[in-house]
A and B are shown apart, each in its own frame.
Chain A
Amino acid sequence: MTESEFATLATHVHDARKPLNRISMQAELVKMALNGDVPAERAMDALDKIIASTKACSESLTTMMSELGDSQTD
């Protein structure tokens, strides 16, 4: 792996981490809602955001694969 490829990879990993961090925070929110610490509606909202984040994470992994794949064929 060249240095530039590694840099690309690092950027993508960073992008993929972002939705994961969001998921973990939203999950904490769901826990709090189940505990009655915050209104229950927030749990529903948080779960929607979790689903959105999983898609975002999946997308960024796909992007990473295709970009790294491109650089392989170059």
Chain B
Amino acid sequence: MLTVLLVDDDPEFTDVACTIIEFLGHEVLTAANLAEARDWLTKETFDHVLLDFMLPDGSGAHLFDELDVLPKRPRVTLITGHPSVKGIIKGLCGPNIDYLVKPIQREEIEAVLTGKKNQKKQEPGPKVTRHFGHLIGESTPMKELYKLLERVSRTSANVMLLGESGVGKEVVAAAIHAASDAEGPYIATNCGAFSKELIGSELFGHEKGAFTGAVGRKAGVFEQSENGTLFLDEITEMPIDMQPNLLRVLENKVVIRVGGTKAIPVNCRVVSATNRSMEEIAESKVLREDIYFRLAVFPITIPPLRERKEDIPLLATYFIDELNKENGTNFIWEDTQLDTLKAYDWPGNVRELRHFVHRAAIMSDPEGSDIELPKTIESPFAKKQSTTPALQAGRTIEDVEKELIYATLEKVNGNKTLAAEMLGISTKTLYNRLHAYGDLSKEE
């Protein structure tokens, strides 16, 4: 139980506030102005003072000095009727003093008295819209994507999703299913996750005793997603010699379980996904042409995060809200932090952003609302991504060497001695190379 002093000049307000505070199990005394409050402070010891900012005989802030000299300084919560004063009060009183803005709700009084501040505040914040129940983003590329999804979801056409790793292909697949009003379920499987021997059983099912370990009959994902949506992730990682089987299912709309003889009719929309580009698929022969045309009746390219940077704050807010819900925390982004996130390129796309937000939340003090951002945003894959093309056939050794030298220099902030050491060459050799690239005149 706390002893609370409520200082406010509106008797009707104090009357109800007292009822609430007493109901919460605390003892409460009231004062209508600064003089009365001062009087109480000499007679009683208080745990908490709820103090109106504007009182008939002066500002509640005048009481601060007197509270400071008390043997036991009560916690203070300032009450103001003006939202505009909020900012001033916040700056004025520092972190140890709470404030409430009228109209006040019961939960807010409860929260300040128990010290669990800000718990209520988060809810009225702008909610992030999830398009088709899954997708977040209001940028032009996303709006175009929504338009495509809306069109295609009304048909039963097979969709192939193309996009870099981490852009959210599975989320888009789920969105297509949600938008399509399909009766059946949404089943997802990863074609890259199964060995050649097992993928047949995963896709088409097997009969009892079809192979060692097939102790029972199993329905494949095609059967499971009857009248629904089947999502085949990493379709290009599917062993090429299994692809004719898949083609047969797609063309005839029947599956034969492994070890079975009966053709079982299937009816589902197949959404497939790959992180390879269309050109790459064509060149590298990871997908048979006939399969490609069956699957990619309607190909959709999902934009990478760097092409829709305006969505980064929305996504970051959504992720932190989710984490808050999960862990009972109250983290809030500051605008400058969101700007920092926006400035980064996110080679790992939304997945990297989510991972980054998660890590920042773990690093931050769970009692506060401030999120602690690491000083630099760095992904081990970021560098790799920029250097991968260097390792493709067709480039000269000099070319690759030059890129490696520059990448190393960048890593060590231009320290040539350190860079030479990392490259395993003498500093002199490094200088010679840089001379040859015509890069030393600038600095030396």
Contacts and interface: CB of A to CB of B under 8 A. Distances in A.
B12 A25 contact: yes
Contact of A25 (B23, B81, B82, B103): B103
B20 interface: yes
Interface string B326-338: 0000000000000
Contacts of B104: 21, 24-25
A10 B105 CA distance: 24
18 contacts: A14-B82, A17-B82, A18-B81, A20-B103, A21-B10, A21-B81, A21-B103, A24-B103, A24-B104, A25-B16, A25-B20, A25-B103, A28-B20, A28-B106, A31-B106, A32-B20, A32-B106, A49-B12
Contacts of A64: none
Interface string B40-66: 000000000000000000000000000
B100 to A, nearest CB: 11
Nearest to B103: A24
B108 to A, nearest CB: 10
A26 B17 CA distance: 9
Interface in B26-45: none
B437 interface: no
Contact of B23 (A20, A22, A23, A37): A37
Interface string A10-41: 00001001101111111011011000011000
B10 A18 contact: yes
Q: Decide if the interface of chain A is mainly helix, strand, loop or mixed.
A: helix
A37 B13 CA distance: 18
B121 to A, nearest CB: 16
Interface string B1-21: 000000000101100110110
B102 interface: yes
Contact of A23 (B81, B82, B103, B106): B103
Contact of B102 (A17, A26, A29): A17
Of B17, B19, B20, most buried by chain A (CB within 10 Å of CB) is: B19
Contacts of A22: 10, 12-13, 16
Nearest to A24: B103
Interface residues of B, number: 15
B16 A29 contact: yes
B80 to A, nearest CB: 10
Contact of A17 (B17, B81, B105): B81
Given A25-B12, A49-B12, 11 more contacts: A14-B82, A17-B81, A17-B102, A20-B103, A21-B81, A22-B10, A29-B16, A29-B19, A32-B20, A42-B19, A46-B16
A31 B106 CA distance: 10
Interface residues of A, number: 19
A40 to B, nearest CB: 14
A29 B18 CA distance: 11
Contacts of B103: 20-21, 23-25
A24 B183 CA distance: 46
Of A22, A28, A31, A46, most buried by chain B (CB within 10 Å of CB) is: A28
A49 B50 CA distance: 23
Contacts of B105: 24, 28
A38 B22 CA distance: 11
A19 to B, nearest CB: 9
A42 to B, nearest CB: 8
Contacts of B81: 14, 17-18, 21
A28 B110 CA distance: 12
Contacts of A42: 19
B22 to A, nearest CB: 9
Contacts of A17: 81-82, 102
Nearest to A17: B81
Nearest to A25: B16
A21 B104 CA distance: 7
Contacts of A21: 10, 13, 81, 102-104
Interface string B103-133: 1111000000000000000000000000000
Contacts of A23: 103
Contacts of A28: 16, 20, 105-106
A18 B106 CA distance: 17
B23 A32 contact: yes
Nearest to B102: A21
Contacts of A26: 12, 16
Nearest to B84: A10
A22 B14 CA distance: 9
A26 B20 CA distance: 10
Contacts of B16: 22, 25-26, 28-29, 46
A23 B12 CA distance: 10
A20 B395 CA distance: 73
Nearest to A26: B16
